Structure 1
């Protein structure tokens, strides 16, 4: 048996911080923890004990009901709460008292069964006073219906007891009446919920855990993921048989990272038994350590990276190769920690390892500590698209974790602060469409939408007197043409003349079908979208040049506006020059669009803030982009609901886009991940969406990171994003084309074709080569880590996502550089 102090207590502390020995706070004074077997130095999985902390003046007293140290000595649970209680569980005077309350304090997925959970309840004996002695733990394993296995820790041999009654009621009310099945709030792979007969909502707290390791030197990316931008870095040795003794050197340090926690000749050197875990087997070794002079229970140890080793805590060492191995697995296919650790344990048995592989929680903690040291920079840029791509593909991905785990450090690009510029002159603008009158727009769309307008020819068939449904609909559309012409004349005579010439009875009675480009042009003129979606500032400038010199070799200037380009080309083929009607309509389009653009512009081009040209710590903010922040997101006090989230649903008027925004995230989860790709499927950045996806996410990410807006923004909701961006920053986004890719276009049945990428492919060859599905390809890869991220804390979710996307990028960059095998 180990001593109850010294090394044995350090083993207990490590188990607490790794989560191998669970420790929860239920209220200000009540705690519950796994029992601890001091002889085996391991947690008692089926054994739980309650603790009670009492404050007496400035001192604290702790009572523990565990079975160890019954001779009156202080147990490890008590020592931990006295040593670290203020740090891990600071006093909160407003914390709810849980007297006579049944608490679901731990809920984890059962890795062996689908849709099965392991739940732990702290149950009060309602007939007794609320003391630490009168509480027991009840365990339930099964689905949310409660039909699994119930066990009372106090009476484990009994099939049923009085203590199980209340937890059964709690589980039923929790999932049948208040939460959808399978949903709860999570923290570091453990779901903590408090629920009781009075519907109290206080949450149990668990120990934060350790995020740093003794190894502290930066680590290069795995050799199979290195790219030219990494430069020449010393290769990490491959360890097959570790040295029997690893000595201290000048690089040795303590994991606390405090000043004075490094190797010193003045401190006595001790030797500690340790284990190195390799790909195939574990090796017993000896590690030299020194007592850390600045932290109470820490030890200074060797770094080990020069040997190809990773020192997690001076007891558990891992070869860099085995840590890289997990990185390879989870980035290639869906591989949660549980699955990989289980398969590695089998491999150890196959190779007759003298010691088994570590448990999942220890390996997970070690891998995250290793991932924090990986030098994964210079990989969010494509060699073909450059540091700031002109064509960007944006998409929100359902990669989320519990909202309970959101920390105050989370700072997406949508965040505004005291340095954000206020722009009160920006206010909503009405009638931004080319044709301002709504009724006229609706009539034009009714006339022109559908099969090409054409009068049916007379038929001598016996059934000719029986009109078909298609014929009836066509005749109804044609009968609407004469009344709409004078209405167009009130807007502008050129529109009425063109409409009459292209769709009037003169052309219809010639028995010729209406030209499809003419029909398409007027449909886009009557669309609900803003005029600057139909023709942006760059295309407007080109139109002006063409109107000044309407020559055939200048028609290429119109390629940025396909509806105009096709009509003009028909005129050149038929008449050798633009017809009078076409020319006058183009002049009207130019004047009307320039007027609308001028109405929107109220401020100059946004300046770059030199003080912001540095990179925030993405590990905390959750915003990780390949370029630094160059501006703050402004405030727009003149826009109503500016700080509100985009609502899901459809346009209730039935006129606009019917695929506006859906609710992507599950209840009690974050809103997902906003990711930007280039056409070569290289990720240029991402940020965590705290609540729900919206236009603000794309707008703010571009505005705060791009010095000049991209020429093309491809997004599922580009039809809604374009007016959002142009209202707020028209100078910045004036030349940007916002389009929906072909994959997502199916649900946008009410959107004008000016919002679709396919509309531009025929006239703009530059866009033909754009792989608009690059984002969908990347997003399908991200879904490999969806399940793993869903139960992580914020810092781990961010780091795990960054490692995945960095490796994803590096694999594609290596192909471009000809380095892939």
Structure 2
């Protein structure tokens, strides 16, 4: 490969200083904020807790092998002359490299002279106003999460002592903190390991805490949350290390000699229309390799671009030093090849539908894809030197046609042909071996190739057709690879062929088509008896993630056996009181022409505009007479947009709220029922609770921006809050005419049938069927046109319907990534159908929070 075509890696720009390393550290005494570094040698750690002894207020610097500098964004300074006009970050060894970082955007982020005080959060956490642990919805364990035998209290005290004295509690904004992780075994802070802790107000005096560490994701319990709850008053008194608004990437730390840059980064730029504010720790090593706590070393990491953009602006790395982006042509060709491969594998000869395989005994899934409380399958290891002959087992032996050896002897009432031994090939993960299998000719098939053979599952082997055997390790390895990186069949088979060639040039792997058929036959035997329940949040979690997987097949492949939870049958309750007439005017803005006009205003204000021109457009519409409350808010939005350079965040939050109001969805999607009373109070008092963003995100963001800018809520917004509450109440009273159906535990549902025929599998049994709304247009029809016209909500469905494709697969997850169930989508589904897919299986109906991910 030529040097021009070789992908480039990010290169850290080396800088030098006229001072030796130790003198450079000494020059920063009094400003450096230290972190601990447990040396791999016999050196003691920087932090060693001694009972009844506290260090001096100013920590002393130690040799390089025993310290690590912390890179919270410090005060800009020109106090030290280290070789040129520069500003420094407190604790950085050599400052001249930062002369390149004097970029306006970067300087804004690095400047620590202006902070948002704790009072800006709107919380009263000073003194004893909120006792420790009030409102905490998190069980307190009996011991440390890593070492249950260690006393929790002492370990937390040690952890907090290290965090505070080395200043490793970093506050990013009012509700987001970063803690350096703790090593309980060595009693020191972990180098380069940080976790995000979110403070989540739930009411006037209650709050919850969440964390990004693996312990919290598994059990909703970790030492970081305990630390925050115990010392939340101290945490809320900390100043933010960056100026609001919180940037997409925040540089947290630079390790000694700049071996690693560590960031807190979002998964998308704030300038994008659809972006997530969830953050992950991203680091760039000196050798140019990126690592993300969420995405690992994946080149498709969504958190990396924001961190790289900061480094480029700060001149820490060269622009364009990343790998050259692929034009995507090879990917498209690969996808086409994979589609053709799957088409050949499931059609024509070798169809796995009627005949199947010789192996037929159900096997459990492997250990890695089962929860700790579930049974799992430990695959027996096959030694090719010890196991080369496999005799027939009279109890489990059968033919691929389904006839077992026992049935053959009982039904035919005659002696079968004698058993013989025939050669077969056993495919392992990295090589193949020749074995011998005992078989009996099948009396039903009357075909020379079809025999009754052993199941072999007790040996960890899948018997495909008595001549081709596959280890469970090999087949489970593809499942593991695909779930980790979406590896195509053809790519996996190619890696196996290369591994086989390492053993012998004459050793061959099976064809791609054969492997596809074998794998699908094997996974049909893996039992889905896990219960589809999370050990932490149970089988009825409060938060449900609806993930639409775009695996649409042609409608001609849909059979009458496909029955999703939205299927209507004779047991479905018939509702006559809800009609298409009553279901009209459900959006926040009832008429479509008025919604289109608001979208027109949004388009006019997307760029530069004049106040008079846009105001004239608004005055000429029906908005002032029909919706005066909305009219006043639009005028406020337009006036702020003219000064967008002064208050960009305020304009952006107003624009987002106006976009939500103009959406064609039902108003209760924007304003849930529990937010109505709060909106009425906002109208009367102008005070927005800090926790209101949880109930009404769009309005809560607007209130948060005003809170941070120390401005009162404008009168137009207070009036708008009352109007939104009135619209939500009107729609709710119009539709809320029926109580939920009582659970029917004798309901015959698709769960009692084979899931690979019905396309439906949920952990709980169905207890209610979907109601039939006879007077609603298109309800229960083959194509839900109402769902087709929902706009961005079902962005893929229109493409599917135009090409006669089904909607794919709907999967429900809890927030701990435990699957609750799935079903095929034969037609486009609306949001009501998505929510019903969970309500139909819950005996006790509550109101879960749904997060829809249509991808």
Please, what TM-score do these two structures have when normalized by structure 2? 0.47
Q: What TM-score, normalized to structure 1?
A: 0.49
Which structure exhibits the higher relative contact order, with contacts defined as CA atoms closer than 8 Å and separated by 6 or more residues?
Answer: 1
